[in-house]
Structure 1
């Protein structure tokens, strides 16, 4: 993360003719929001004196909302490249604090910062890389999104088959202008599906990048007349979209996951970290896979990352350890989807991994074959769990995990669970098109 001060922000705002600043923050579900101010209000904003109602963070309105404040992070200041240079628009990502300056208990960014501080006390630093998948859909004559893909291309196809190449190029260029380091971009398996990978960064910076990434990708897609969707499974006949999260713990400049003396050149720390993730994965599923639709992607299948196990080669386990070694040794979590709140997800991943390291949790043996291809008898002997198969079950598992609840806080957990239970109830009470197609002709 770059070093930037309040004075630096004020100077750059003046130097680049900034007129409007978007004070950006996320609610407990990871939805990016903002309050826009003019540059004349920037000195006041930098002092944390922009106030608003807590309901916008909590995701619901009750009768006990209170006043909270935006506390901007100077390091997050950036000017939007797609807006005019005269009267430019910039942004600041903000923490949420109480009027007395203490952290608001439902500030997701602060949840992650606390776990990062815990790792630092152990002389460890989490580094994260991601691959984010999304769809580009056509819009209708009222500019509303459809599920009609804009091309029929497949994995790594080129133009003219890949009709999203120009939009994806503009997304990458815009992100790079905003300080992102892009690893690669390409067309994914399904028609209209794309992937952009972000190079490794520290955990807090990566969470900031991910919420910004979704905002930028959707903005640039709109300028191309398309709708960018991060919905996990937007169509029955298309592959789902994933958020693959690559994790490493560094001690100074040393990758603690690498040990050339151990089998597979994986250190004990790496194995214990994997053990921690496996121990808590079903419980944090409601965070990594946060909506009803998420579980349509986790149905058991050849490529579905739904089995709570790890492998160095298998892609239907939730954890894979890629072949890279030395300073590139890392652990990949494959089940998260891009609808998640990255602050909460990275917080619980790091906390679970650290718990595994502290307790020296040994993971089960790595899986080398396709679990989906096993017979029921073979599957039972492997003692491998699957991830929860719906949102209701995921919520129940979260309620039982004290470590995850403690990590995100009891107040945030209560509000998150309440909202997810209401979401499940709305889904359950709604008559879906499948029911009409299946039953209406018969009954």
Structure 2
């Protein structure tokens, strides 16, 4: 199950553990929501784990965002028509030794990202990292390049809400206060107010080897934006899950709450987005770059594919109910299926100029809570379809919030329906995976629909 290259990398891990005197190593995998889960092993157990893997219960792949198991695991096929999942059976986390890090915030602790395998060594079909690997293989001689531009909030915790009554699925979130009052985008004074927190986060992220490019004070209160240098597809997705997890853990250890929730229910707080800059490389050159035009023929076909499948891809780029509350006209968030040249109101923003090696397409649809493996895979399959059919994009939109074009989904329910009906994404990501994913999201929607909201209470309690 472990090849020679992995075995060599594993030896290097053991040497580093010994040299640094590490006491424990976290073995993690990214679940269906892009959340890291796993086990922490004593350093003495790492050698065996590198060879044989680490067992975890398969029900971790059957949970919605409340951590409830939404499939009947104790039935034939484990609820997903797989005997290997029956009875909450174990699957294996097989470490990718190339991802090993020493965690700067956790004393004497290493970390490694894992792929999921069945007991016979086959990939688990519901492993999101495996879904992206398959998509990257479909690119053939092209390489997917991604640049990450991620907005998030950091608040100071005033009450952690850890009373027994606060426990639950989910429990009571912490009470918080702002670090800044916001609405002074990119002002140096506002940045200086958040700089002590930025320094703490930056120090940890740099020690992890993440290629940070900028740290910005965003428009909203207590809102940040970090950007990362372009990376190859799998490395970029790995960086995103590590970035989010590291920021949350480092912040919490210093008394702060970091959240990648799109639109927190706090007064005056703004929505956060995740803008994905993407291009293809071939032979070390940018395949989207053209000598006399802003976008090559390959880039145009890829762009057309992104547009054709944009509504269905929303199920992966904006996978939470909350994320759809960001799509508002004139808000720097898109609301319809269009593209524009250097236009931040468009869904797809083409950036570059004739001959530019930095030519790329920025997709502005994503929320920062998206699973990067699934988000990237949706983009690749969409773009590949445009390339295969040699599709051409429509003219660029000059008035993005007034252009006559198909609207983006207004709800997660609408996005899931678009995904169910999209033959290209169903075939690419996999029929079984799409059905599995939609069932998890349907469970979240069903719980949401049973909740009585503040709006309903205000609207009807006194009226009727």
Q: Are residues 1:255 and 2:273 paired?
A: no
* Preserved contact between residue 112 and residue 344 of structure 1 (Cα < 8 Å): yes
Cα distance in 2 for residues equivalent to 1:17 and 1:330? 44
> 2:312 — aligned with what?
283
> 1:114 — aligned with what?
134
* Preserved contact between residue 134 and residue 229 of structure 1 (Cα < 8 Å): yes
Counterparts of 1:377-388 in structure 2, within 5 Å, are 379=403, 382=404, 384-388=405-409
> 1:245 — aligned with what?
276
Cα distance in 2 for residues equivalent to 1:101 and 1:13? 26
Name the CA shift for 1:147/1:58 in 2 (closer, same or farther; >3 Å).
same
Segments of 5+ residues of structure 2 without an aligned counterpart are: 64-68, 79-84, 162-172
Q: CA RMSD in A?
A: 1.8
* Preserved contact between residue 136 and residue 164 of structure 1 (Cα < 8 Å): no
> 2:332 — aligned with what?
303
> 1:124 — aligned with what?
142
Deviation at 1:40, TM superposition (A): 1.3
Q: Are residues 1:195 and 2:225 paired?
A: yes
- Deviations along 1:164-187, one digit per CA (max 9) or x if unpaired, are 221112212211111111110110
Q: Which secondary structure state, in structure 1, belongs to the residue aligned with residue 332 of structure 2?
A: coil
> 2:430 — aligned with what?
409
Deviation at 1:161, TM superposition (A): 6.6
Q: Which secondary structure state, in structure 2, belongs to the residue aligned with residue 339 of structure 1?
A: coil
Counterparts of 1:7-156 in structure 2, within 5 Å, are 7-59=11-63, 60=69, 61-62=71-72, 63=74, 64=78, 65=85, 66-84=89-107, 88-119=108-139, 121=140, 123-142=141-160, 144-146=173-175, 148-153=177-182, 154-156=184-186
Counterparts of 1:340-419 in structure 2, within 5 Å, are 340-369=370-399, 371-372=400-401, 374=402, 379=403, 382=404, 384-419=405-440
Cα distance in 2 for residues equivalent to 1:162 and 1:218? 21
- Deviations along 1:155-204, one digit per CA (max 9) or x if unpaired, are 11334675322111221221111111111011000010000001000010
Name the CA shift for 1:125/1:418 in 2 (closer, same or farther; >3 Å).
same
Cα distance in 1 for residues equivalent to 2:53 and 2:331? 52
> Which is worse superposed, 54-63 or 14-23?
54-63
Cα distance in 1 for residues equivalent to 2:346 and 2:191? 32
* Preserved contact between residue 95 and residue 110 of structure 1 (Cα < 8 Å): yes
Deviation at 1:331, TM superposition (A): 0.6
> 2:451 — aligned with what?
430
Cα distance in 1 for residues equivalent to 2:428 and 2:225? 30
Deviation at 1:131, TM superposition (A): 0.5
Q: Which secondary structure state, in structure 2, belongs to the residue aligned with residue 246 of structure 1?
A: strand
> 2:322 — aligned with what?
293
> 2:167 — aligned with what?
none
* Preserved contact between residue 28 and residue 412 of structure 1 (Cα < 8 Å): no
Cα distance in 2 for residues equivalent to 1:386 and 1:48? 49
* Preserved contact between residue 181 and residue 198 of structure 1 (Cα < 8 Å): yes
> Which is worse superposed, 89-98 or 354-363?
354-363
* Preserved contact between residue 316 and residue 374 of structure 2 (Cα < 8 Å): yes
- Deviations along 1:276-309, one digit per CA (max 9) or x if unpaired, are 1011110011110001101101133342212211
* Preserved contact between residue 261 and residue 272 of structure 2 (Cα < 8 Å): yes
Q: Which secondary structure state, in structure 1, belongs to the residue aligned with residue 239 of structure 2?
A: helix
Cα distance in 1 for residues equivalent to 2:377 and 2:327? 22
Segments of 5+ residues of structure 1 without an aligned counterpart are: none
Cα distance in 1 for residues equivalent to 2:175 and 2:283? 48
* Preserved contact between residue 133 and residue 243 of structure 1 (Cα < 8 Å): yes
Number of aligned residue pairs: give it: 426
Cα distance in 1 for residues equivalent to 2:199 and 2:334? 29
Q: Which secondary structure state, in structure 2, belongs to the residue aligned with residue 326 of structure 1?
A: coil
* Preserved contact between residue 160 and residue 175 of structure 2 (Cα < 8 Å): no
Cα distance in 1 for residues equivalent to 2:190 and 2:346? 35
Q: Which secondary structure state, in structure 1, belongs to the residue aligned with residue 386 of structure 2?
A: helix
Deviation at 1:48, TM superposition (A): 3.3
Q: Which secondary structure state, in structure 2, belongs to the residue aligned with residue 399 of structure 1?
A: helix
* Preserved contact between residue 256 and residue 270 of structure 1 (Cα < 8 Å): yes
